[in-house]
Amino acid sequence: MKKMNLLIVLLFTSTLFACNSAEKNEVQNNNTEETQSIGQSGVQDDASQKNVVQVAVSSKDHTTLVTAIKAGELVDALSNAGPFTVFAPTNEAFNKLPAGTVEGLLKPESKETLVDILQ
Protein backbone atom coordinates (compact mmCIF):
# COMPACT_ATOMS: atom_id res chain seq x y z
CA MET A 1 0.00 0.00 0.00
CA LYS A 2 2.87 2.41 0.77
CA LYS A 3 4.37 1.74 -2.65
CA MET A 4 1.06 2.51 -4.32
CA ASN A 5 0.67 5.81 -2.41
CA LEU A 6 4.26 6.76 -3.23
CA LEU A 7 3.67 5.98 -6.91
CA ILE A 8 0.51 8.14 -6.95
CA VAL A 9 2.34 11.06 -5.30
CA LEU A 10 5.23 10.76 -7.77
CA LEU A 11 2.87 10.66 -10.75
CA PHE A 12 0.95 13.66 -9.46
CA THR A 13 4.15 15.65 -8.86
CA SER A 14 5.59 14.82 -12.26
CA THR A 15 2.31 15.82 -13.90
CA LEU A 16 2.46 19.22 -12.19
CA PHE A 17 6.00 19.84 -13.40
CA ALA A 18 5.12 18.71 -16.92
CA CYS A 19 2.41 21.39 -17.10
CA ASN A 20 4.83 24.26 -16.54
CA SER A 21 3.37 27.69 -17.36
CA ALA A 22 6.62 29.05 -18.88
CA GLU A 23 5.72 27.51 -22.23
CA LYS A 24 2.29 29.17 -22.14
CA ASN A 25 3.84 32.59 -21.48
CA GLU A 26 6.17 32.20 -24.45
CA VAL A 27 3.27 31.35 -26.76
CA GLN A 28 1.24 34.31 -25.50
CA ASN A 29 4.16 36.71 -26.03
CA ASN A 30 4.64 35.50 -29.60
CA ASN A 31 0.96 36.09 -30.40
CA THR A 32 1.03 39.72 -29.23
CA GLU A 33 4.05 40.51 -31.38
CA GLU A 34 2.28 39.29 -34.50
CA THR A 35 -0.82 41.45 -33.99
CA GLN A 36 0.95 44.78 -33.61
CA SER A 37 1.11 45.46 -37.37
CA ILE A 38 -2.32 45.49 -38.91
CA GLY A 39 -3.21 46.01 -42.56
CA GLN A 40 -1.03 46.33 -45.63
CA SER A 41 1.08 49.06 -44.04
CA GLY A 42 2.49 46.45 -41.66
CA VAL A 43 3.73 44.16 -44.43
CA GLN A 44 7.47 44.33 -44.87
CA ASP A 45 8.82 43.24 -48.22
CA ASP A 46 12.34 44.24 -49.23
CA ALA A 47 12.07 42.67 -52.69
CA SER A 48 9.27 44.79 -54.15
CA GLN A 49 9.14 48.49 -54.95
CA LYS A 50 8.17 51.05 -52.34
CA ASN A 51 4.49 51.88 -52.05
CA VAL A 52 3.06 55.39 -52.23
CA VAL A 53 3.25 55.98 -48.48
CA GLN A 54 6.85 54.76 -48.19
CA VAL A 55 7.92 57.08 -51.01
CA ALA A 56 6.15 60.06 -49.42
CA VAL A 57 7.58 59.31 -45.96
CA SER A 58 11.11 59.20 -47.37
CA SER A 59 10.68 62.64 -49.00
CA LYS A 60 11.47 65.75 -46.94
CA ASP A 61 9.27 67.77 -49.31
CA HIS A 62 6.07 65.82 -48.53
CA THR A 63 5.85 65.86 -44.72
CA THR A 64 2.55 67.77 -44.72
CA LEU A 65 1.06 65.27 -47.18
CA VAL A 66 2.17 62.36 -44.97
CA THR A 67 0.59 64.05 -41.95
CA ALA A 68 -2.66 64.46 -43.91
CA ILE A 69 -2.61 60.82 -45.08
CA LYS A 70 -2.19 59.67 -41.49
CA ALA A 71 -4.90 62.03 -40.21
CA GLY A 72 -7.28 60.71 -42.88
CA GLU A 73 -6.38 57.13 -41.94
CA LEU A 74 -5.48 56.36 -45.57
CA VAL A 75 -2.11 54.69 -44.89
CA ASP A 76 -3.42 51.15 -45.40
CA ALA A 77 -5.39 52.07 -48.52
CA LEU A 78 -2.32 53.62 -50.14
CA SER A 79 -0.08 50.75 -49.03
CA ASN A 80 -2.03 48.22 -51.10
CA ALA A 81 -0.73 47.05 -54.44
CA GLY A 82 -1.26 49.73 -57.08
CA PRO A 83 -1.07 50.99 -59.58
CA PHE A 84 -1.88 54.45 -58.27
CA THR A 85 -1.66 57.83 -59.90
CA VAL A 86 -0.83 60.33 -57.19
CA PHE A 87 -0.60 64.07 -57.55
CA ALA A 88 1.41 64.74 -54.40
CA PRO A 89 1.57 68.39 -53.38
CA THR A 90 4.79 69.48 -51.73
CA ASN A 91 5.07 71.31 -48.43
CA GLU A 92 5.53 74.52 -50.44
CA ALA A 93 2.14 74.00 -52.11
CA PHE A 94 0.45 73.47 -48.75
CA ASN A 95 2.14 76.63 -47.43
CA LYS A 96 0.47 78.68 -50.21
CA LEU A 97 -3.00 77.82 -48.89
CA PRO A 98 -4.74 80.45 -46.75
CA ALA A 99 -3.56 80.51 -43.14
CA GLY A 100 -5.22 77.88 -40.96
CA THR A 101 -6.52 75.76 -43.85
CA VAL A 102 -4.20 72.80 -43.33
CA GLU A 103 -4.51 72.95 -39.55
CA GLY A 104 -8.30 72.98 -39.85
CA LEU A 105 -8.34 69.98 -42.19
CA LEU A 106 -6.09 67.97 -39.86
CA LYS A 107 -8.58 68.25 -36.98
CA PRO A 108 -10.54 65.05 -36.21
CA GLU A 109 -13.88 66.73 -36.91
CA SER A 110 -12.69 67.57 -40.46
CA LYS A 111 -11.60 64.02 -41.29
CA GLU A 112 -14.40 63.42 -43.82
CA THR A 113 -13.54 66.60 -45.74
CA LEU A 114 -9.83 65.76 -45.64
CA VAL A 115 -10.44 62.25 -47.00
CA ASP A 116 -12.62 63.69 -49.80
CA ILE A 117 -9.81 66.05 -50.80
CA LEU A 118 -7.13 63.36 -50.68
CA GLN A 119 -9.15 60.87 -52.70
Instruction: Tell me if 82 sits within 8 A of 50, measured CB to CB.
Output: no
Note the pLDDT of residue 55. 83
Structural domains of the chain, with CATH: 2-34 (no CATH), 50-118 (2.30.180.10)
103-117: pLDDT as tens digits: 998 889 988 988 888
Cis amide bond preceding 83, omega within 30:
yes
Q: From CA 12, how far away is CA 118, in angstroms rounded?
A: 65
Tell me which DSSP letter residue 80 carries: S
Note the pLDDT of residue 84. 74
HEC profile of 8-53 = HHHHHHHHHHHCCCHHHHHHHHHHHHHCCCCCHHHCCCCCCCCCHH
